[in-house]
Amino acid sequence: MSQEQQNTQVPGPPSPGRRHFLQEVVMTACGAALFGGGVTLYATNASAMPAQALRPPGVLDEETFLGACVRCGLCVRDCPYDTLDLARVGEPVAVGTPYFIARQVACEMCEDIPCVKACPTGALDPELTDIDDARMGLAVLIDQETCLNFLGLRCDVCYQICPLIGEAITLELDHNDRTGVHARFLHTVNSETCTGCGKCEAACVLDVAAIKVLPITLAKGQLGRHYRLGWEEQEKAGKPLLENIIDLPDRMPAGGGLQ
Amino acid sequence: MNTATLPIAMVRSRWRWKWLFLRRLTQVGILGLFLLGPMAGIWIVKGNLSSNLVLDLLPLTDPFLLLQTTVSGHLPETTALLGTAIVVTFYLLVGGRAFCGWVCPVNIVTDAAAWLREMLGLRPRARPSRTTRYWLLGTLLIMTALTGITVWEWVNPVSMLHRGLIFGFGFAWVVLLAVFLFDLLVAQRGWCSHLCPMGATYSLLGAGSIIRVRADDRARCDDCMECFRVCPEPQVIQPALKGTGDGPGPVITGMNCTNCGRCIDVCDQIVFHFGTRFHNKMEASS
């Protein structure tokens, strides 16, 4: 026994006990890493939002939000209109996070924004104090072929129901070529004011809404960074940026000839 | 200190379910408080175990959730920080993993699996190390930092079960069934005592928590082994129960003790009782 104890003091090949211990540590660490890696793979794969799902007002950008939200549902509870819901397991939204589907229930844009106030972590940004500054998404008149106004009728429901009436959706007057004598009032969504509340999509009288609220990243285009709009630059400069440009005649469509 | 065993009449008349009963009552009661809002419109507590608001006043936030959120790169608002501070203080008092034993709804699932395993006489083979949970905790925090999203919350059975009961279940039962079957067939007490990173976080608080189970009357122990059989973390009993003289004192200091009190219940010799972690020296006389 005493000899054995002495042996363990001598540096040399690891004792069976130590080898067993190291083996277990390595196995455990590898197992945990594998499991954790698998979970991460699943989580990153299952974190894409379907286009119809919208986040509550004040939401941080999606990636930050998925780290900041603790999925407690306090925003859901404080929503007076039961608009919000927490994603259940099996639904296509990141599990446990709050969302709403505009076509089902739209955001009523409460002035005191109770959902943002309820958020304990700031995943819904408390700096949002004016609901008109919310950007939950962006309404897009996605199907001009079925929109009644585009067909030359006067529906206007989305225009009328818009909480920012006359600002977020404006009616642009256009000639109705079909009848030749009437006008068409075409909805135009202005991205500078639209909050993405979804009232227009919820109210659209069609079986399937012609106007839909999409995530801003999906709905908005972006000019090339180097782009400069000539007429804006000209206005800023107060004169044409290039002098002595020859103004060529404009070619007009449908046999109008040159003007 | 009386070293003789207790008279048989006293042993027979004992009710062996006190702490288990109180524990179930607490678990179900807390769940009931959460359910009272959505089901009866009485809002004593809003939210779920991840974060909630009691009586529209007191914020409570789970430390593991706050840890994940912070590691993801988002500094939470004061409400969540305050909520976590309250929770941490509370569990530093009552025992870190008292959360696991007295509050966590998954405990009912895994206790059921343990009970059924005993009934059926199953002997699951897998013996994962009890340190796995800490490795997993570390891995997940690293992954959270790398991806910026709280990866564990996509699968966390604890928040999934509690949120499911209150906000709608979906397919969460699949995850819970997996935990149940894992405990029943794969590894004895596999989930709560080996893997759960949430429990691991609470166990870190348990390393310094005040209320502990004590084996002050350990001299009476007649080696019936009942406490080891019922304990979900039997390794914590050994030093406190079997220590002598200058060895380990009678306080169960193991940070994985859940303060479930089942050992107090089953011990015929009434060796164990709840006390504090202080005065952990053996009496000089023995």
pLDDT in tens, B153-211: 999 999 999 999 988 888 888 999 999 999 999 999 999 999 999 999 999 998 889 99
Q: Are B66 and A70 inside 8 Å of each other by CB?
A: yes
B46 in A contact zone (CB under 8 Å) = yes
3-state helix, strand, coil in chain B (%, to 5): 55, 10, 35
Q: What is the pTM of this model?
A: 0.84
Does B245 have pLDDT greater than 50? yes
Distance of residue B170 Cα from the nearest chain A Cα, in angstroms: 5
Instruction: Specify whether the CB–CB gap between A80 and A114 falls below 8 A.
Output: yes
pLDDT of residue B3: 56
Q: Is the pLDDT higher at B257 or at B124?
A: B257
N- to C-terminal Cα separation, chain A: 112
Using a CB-CB cut-off of 8 Å, the residues of chain A touching B73 are 64, 67
B48 in A contact zone (CB under 8 Å) = yes
Q: Are A40 and B132 inside 8 Å of each other by CB?
A: no
Alpha-carbon gap, residue A91 to A79, rounded angstroms: 21
Q: Which of B266, B270, B277, B271 is nearest to B242 (CA)?
A: B271
Using a CB-CB cut-off of 8 Å, the residues of chain A touching B51 are 70, 72, 74, 120-121
Give the best residue of A23, A70, A74 to mutate against chain B (max B CB count within 10 A).
A70
Alpha-carbon gap, residue B32 to B37, rounded angstroms: 9
- Could you tell me which residues come within 8 angstroms of residue A222 by beta carbon, excluding any fewer than 6 positions away? none
pLDDT of residue A19: 84
Does B59 have pLDDT greater than 90? yes
pLDDT of residue A12: 60
Using a CB-CB cut-off of 8 Å, the residues of chain B touching A47 are 149, 154
Alpha-carbon gap, residue A189 to A167, rounded angstroms: 8
A81 in B contact zone (CB under 8 Å) = no
Provide the token pair at B25.
Answer: 């009552």
Distance of residue B121 Cα from the nearest chain A Cα, in angstroms: 27
Using CB atoms, pick whichever of A32, A67, A126 lies closest to residue B72.
A67
Using CB atoms, pick whichever of A42, A73, A118 lies closest to residue B167.
A73
Check residue A59 and report its DSSP letter: B
Alpha-carbon gap, residue B136 to A36, rounded angstroms: 6
Provide the token pair at A181.
Answer: 């004598």
Distance of residue A99 Cα from the nearest chain B Cα, in angstroms: 13
Alpha-carbon gap, residue A36 to B152, rounded angstroms: 8
> Residue A134: exposed, middle, or buried by beta-carbon count in 10 A (0-12, 13-18, 19+)?
buried
The distance of Cα A102 from the centroid of its chain, to the nearest Å, equals: 12
Interface of B with A in 85-104 (CB under 8 A): none
Alpha-carbon gap, residue A117 to A120, rounded angstroms: 8
DSSP A181-226: S-EEEEEEE-TTT-----HHHHH--SSS-SEEEE-HHHH-----TT
Provide the token pair at B187.
Answer: 């590894």
Distance of residue A34 Cα from the nearest chain B Cα, in angstroms: 9
Alpha-carbon gap, residue B164 to A42, rounded angstroms: 20
Return the number of other C-beta atoms located less than 10 Å from residue B209's C-beta.
24
Using CB atoms, pick whichever of B139, B147, B159 lies closest to residue A33.
B139
pLDDT of residue B247: 77
Q: Are A73 and B144 inside 8 Å of each other by CB?
A: no
3-state SS of B35-85 is HHHHHHCCCCEEEECCEEEECCCEEEECHHHHHHHHHCCCCCCHHHHHHHH
The distance of Cα B240 from the centroid of its chain, to the nearest Å, equals: 19
A29 in B contact zone (CB under 8 Å) = yes
Instruction: Specify whether the CB–CB gap between B84 and B69 falls below 8 A.
Output: no
Alpha-carbon gap, residue B11 to B269, rounded angstroms: 7
**B92-108: pLDDT as tens digits:** 999 889 999 999 999 99
Q: Are B168 and A36 inside 8 Å of each other by CB?
A: no
A22 in B contact zone (CB under 8 Å) = no
Using CB atoms, pick whichever of B46, B136, B150 lies closest to residue A67.
B150
N- to C-terminal Cα separation, chain B: 8
A32 in B contact zone (CB under 8 Å) = yes
Provide the token pair at A102.
Answer: 């505009």
Helix (H) or strand (E) holding B105: none
Q: Are B65 and A70 inside 8 Å of each other by CB?
A: yes
Q: Are B160 and A66 inside 8 Å of each other by CB?
A: no
Mean pLDDT of B144-159: 92
Distance of residue B115 Cα from the nearest chain A Cα, in angstroms: 27
- DSSP H helix total and E strand total for chain B: 14, 5
Q: Name the stretches of chain A with pLDDT < 50.
A: 1-7
pLDDT of residue B217: 86
Distances (CA, A) of A196 to A35, A88, A146, B25, B101: 39, 23, 21, 46, 45
pLDDT of residue B110: 94
Q: Are A74 and B155 inside 8 Å of each other by CB?
A: no
Q: Where in B91-147 does DSSP place strands (E)?
A: none
Alpha-carbon gap, residue A86 to A70, rounded angstroms: 11
Give the best residue of A27, A65, A72 to mutate against chain B (max B CB count within 10 A).
A72
Would you tell me the crossing angle of helices A16-45 and B132-147 to the nearest 10 degrees?
Answer: 40
pLDDT of residue A246: 81
The distance of Cα A24 from the centroid of its chain, to the nearest Å, equals: 46
> Residue A146: exposed, middle, or buried by beta-carbon count in 10 A (0-12, 13-18, 19+)?
middle
Distances (CA, A) of B199 to B60, B94, B132, B202: 17, 15, 12, 5
Using a CB-CB cut-off of 8 Å, the residues of chain B touching A76 are 167
The sheet carrying B58-61 orders its strands as B45-48, B51-54, B58-61
pLDDT of residue B285: 41
Interface of B with A in 158-217 (CB under 8 A): 159-160, 163-164, 166-172, 174-175
pLDDT of residue A258: 54
Using a CB-CB cut-off of 8 Å, the residues of chain B touching A38 are none
